[in-house]
Structure 1
Amino acid sequence: MKILITGSNGLLGQKLVKLLTSGEDNIELIATARGENRLPSFDNKYTYESMDISNEEDVNAIITKHKPEVIINTAAMTNVDQCETDHDGCWKLNVHAVEYLIAAAEKTGAHLVHVSTDFIFDGSHGPLEENAEPAPVNFYGESKLAAEKLIIESNISWAIARTVLVYGIAHDMSRSNIILWVKNSLESQKNIQVVDDQWRTPTLAEDLAQGCFLIAKNQAKGIYNISGKEMLSPYEMAIKTADFFKLDQSLITKTDGSKFKQTAKRPPKTGFVITKAENDLGYQPHSFEEGLAVLKSQLT
């Protein structure tokens, strides 16, 4: 199977490249991202192409050249506060780019697997099933919902993988996450405040990559929730992280979202029910503690 992934320099993109070059599934992989390839060679088991998904000519040229059977779109502007202050940039990467991918997929007959987010929901309740009614509370969520609608209304073969609070370790460590922030803060004996009035089902990046691959491998269609199983608050995640790494819990203080000034509003409670992905795809994510163990193994 020939698979093209976008955003291969990002966290999820890196995990997909590693997964798709390490299996026995006879995958021909084309990894694409804007600019130079920042990944290890993986023994040259894939082809790298520089492709800016916000450039229609770029997208059309690269996808027409390779004619992949499946496109997995991991590229997006995911900084929620940045999306709130740069509407044009956000829409360019999260919506217009998807229009270009849809057009290229229609032209080549590719199956498009698009990664979306729990932030298309208002956070009034959770965990959510695939048929829950979207109602975004910030511009990032609006852009991701707009992209979903474009895909659903298109004539192509498609699947949408919705996920939640992805954590993991990237090759270049360019971005942190709640686990690394808590670990590094406590190791430095810093007091930290962590909210306990938001809830998510945090997702190990390796699990999200596996879910996207299972969708691609089966050319599954429709919407799938791909996340962790456990509904946790950031405070609970912080305590579990401190426990796992044997760090001082007393440095962690509970607080609530009103104490933080963030540009974009966050949905208080999301999280996903993943029964459909478990039953249809055989998706089995790590527990949160198992995810911490994966991170620990990558840090040593």
Structure 2
Amino acid sequence: MTETEHCSSSLSLSKMSKKRVLIVGGTGYLGQHLLQSFSEDSDPKSPLALGFTHHSSPPPQPLLDAIPQAIPFHVDLRTGGGLDAISHAFGQPDVVINCAALSVPRVCEMDPEAAMSINVPTSLVRWLSSFKESNTLLIHLSTDQVYEGTKSFYKEEDETVPVNVYGKSKVEAEHYVSANCRNFAILRSSIIYGPQTISPVPKSLPIQWMDGVLAKGEALDFFHDEFRCPVFVKDLIAVIQILTNRWISESKQMQLLLNVGGPDRVSRVQMAEAVAHVKGYSTSLIKPVSASSVDRGVKSPSDISMDITKLIRTIGISPTPYMDGVRLTLELKATL
């Protein structure tokens, strides 16, 4: 579909009663998976209008070909450039899912100004505030790196004391969203893992990377003292879809803060061992080392495992155990 055809189709959408979902950062890892899931699961009786923003231009053709009904918009989140075009061609979204971020901690450390200007969604929130009706739900992706990392199983009410610029920018974003949005859900995600996207993302994916290095039969160092609760991407998508459907069907005020991790607290060593177990590699290739022995150019929290009791109670899902998620990821990789 050409850009002109996209615009004409979006203009017709504004005259219909379709509920509109806008994915900010739709060409990233989570963004692409969300677009695919929303397009596949859309109810024929009440289909959703899908839009997404992208910063790199043009958006990847495989994504446009796979989900032709999703309307792309080029947006610069630093300045807000491009957001007005969404107002005219797509209309006010019912739900905005903000996946866009400068998320590599070392890059954030090197350019704090960029981290703050991209990760704190000031232009996005101001744009939403420009609509007369304040009936848009903002689902904002945050991170487990808002926590200091000095204990296990952080709860949402625990103090946020980030140790790096990335975490600080995300804490600032949480404060900004909660202070300026009437309806929001802030999701503190751990490491997201799962199958590759329709248009492969440039960054290395954790399970696929571990599989690749272990397949070579060469020994490699992994941290034994850095703990996370990795979340299977399909679980995170399920959380977002449940919140979206709840908002669309009920329209009750929503102000949520949730830890979104998997049920298992694992070290990098344990993450790699699971991959080795599923693929039959020798675990002797996995050499445990301390995270303090490596200079990554940025401070990394030691243990930011999260308590997900509130998530399970609020959303009603049982997140996928890590070993099962690894198996599903590698099985899906094998079928691609």
Q: Please, what TM-score do these two structures have when normalized by structure 2?
A: 0.84
Match for residue 77 of structure 2 among 24, 28, 53: 53
Task: Tell me what 1:166 maps to.
Answer: 192
Contact 1:11–1:205 (CA<8 Å) still a contact in 2?
no
Q: Give how far 1:55 is off.
A: 2.6
Counterpart Cα distance in 1 of 2:141 and 2:232: 14
1:3 equivalent in alignment to 2:21: yes
Task: Tell me what 2:172 maps to.
Answer: 146
Task: Tell me what 2:311 maps to.
Answer: 277
Larger radius of gyration: 2
After TM superposition, the structure 1 = structure 2 runs for residues 104-119 of structure 1, keeping only pairs within 5 Å, are: 104-108=127-131, 109=134, 110-119=136-145
After TM superposition, the structure 1 = structure 2 runs for residues 1-300 of structure 1, keeping only pairs within 5 Å, are: 1-25=19-43, 26-34=47-55, 35-38=57-60, 39-63=63-87, 65-66=89-90, 67-95=92-120, 98-108=121-131, 109=134, 110-168=136-194, 169-170=196-197, 171-219=199-247, 220-300=254-334
Gap runs ≥5 in structure 1? none
Return closer, same or farther for 1:63/1:192 CA change in 2, 3 Å cut-off.
farther
Segment drifting more, 26-35 vs 51-60: 51-60
Q: How many residues align?
A: 298
Q: Give how far 1:143 is off.
A: 0.5
SS in 2 for 1:172: coil
Contact 1:198–1:269 (CA<8 Å) still a contact in 2?
yes
Return closer, same or farther for 1:192/1:30 CA change in 2, 3 Å cut-off.
same
Structure 1 stretches of 4+ moved >6 Å? none
Counterpart Cα distance in 1 of 2:84 and 2:291: 43
Gap runs ≥5 in structure 2? 1-18, 248-253
CA offset digits 1:97-147 (Å, max 9, x no partner): x01111122223321110000111110112112111100100001101001
Q: Give how far 1:276 is off.
A: 1.8
Return closer, same or farther for 1:173/1:189 CA change in 2, 3 Å cut-off.
farther
Q: Give how far 1:64 is off.
A: 5.7
Contact 1:106–1:156 (CA<8 Å) still a contact in 2?
no
SS in 2 for 1:29: strand
Aligned Cα root-mean-square deviation (Å): 1.6
SS in 1 for 2:41: coil
Return closer, same or farther for 1:47/1:284 CA change in 2, 3 Å cut-off.
farther
Counterpart Cα distance in 1 of 2:202 and 2:49: 27
Contact 2:219–2:286 (CA<8 Å) still a contact in 1?
yes
Counterpart Cα distance in 1 of 2:128 and 2:245: 17
Q: Give how far 1:43 is off.
A: 4.7
Counterpart Cα distance in 1 of 2:108 and 2:216: 31
Q: Give how far 1:41 is off.
A: 2.6
Q: Please, what TM-score do these two structures have when normalized by structure 1?
A: 0.94
Q: Give how far 1:208 is off.
A: 1.6
Contact 2:64–2:70 (CA<8 Å) still a contact in 1?
no
Counterpart Cα distance in 1 of 2:303 and 2:101: 23
Contact 1:64–1:104 (CA<8 Å) still a contact in 2?
no
Percent identical pairs in the alignment equals: 26
Counterpart Cα distance in 2 of 1:65 and 1:119: 36
Return closer, same or farther for 1:185/1:142 CA change in 2, 3 Å cut-off.
same
SS in 2 for 1:114: strand
Contact 2:183–2:255 (CA<8 Å) still a contact in 1?
yes
